[in-house]
Amino acid sequence: MNQISAIQSRIEIAAVLVTLQASLSLTAGLSAIPFGIVEPGFRVLSVLTILIAVMMFWLARNLRRRRRWAWRWLVSVEVVSLTITVVLTLLPIGTIRGPVPVLVNLVIPWAVLVLLASGSSRSADPRPGPADPA
């Protein structure tokens, strides 16, 4: 019983971190909207960022509801996020300057991946959930 509560705690912490990450993405997307007045590319980027943030809120909610597909999707999204961040860091364009981009783009996705990978969250509750096939 103690192992199940530890795994459930890890999932809850991961969901909170994903919600924090989505909140920061939503703020970035909303703050880019005024720049879309003079640069049409910023409109597309701001809408895309807002949609990604909404998707991450939805995935965090479904992770708390113990949906297996949400766990898989979150792992995929965080791996893609880390891969893109590493590629942009290696390019000489100066994308990561300061502690906030390092925290948001590297530390939080890495922490979510570690929390979701540790303790095999799939074996936490062997009973199928309402969305899982019987």
Query: Model confidence over 1-51: pLDDT tens digits?
Result: 677 788 888 989 999 999 999 999 999 999 999 998 898 888 999 999 999
pTM over 0.85, yes/no: no
Q: Is residue 54 part of a domain?
A: yes
Q: Is residue 50 part of a domain?
A: yes
Q: Is residue 99 part of a domain?
A: yes
Q: Is residue 20 part of a domain?
A: yes
The count of structural domains within the chain is 1
Q: What are phi and psi of 39, to 5 degrees?
A: -130, 110
Only one residue has tokens 């597909």, namely 69
Domain range for 22 is: 2-123
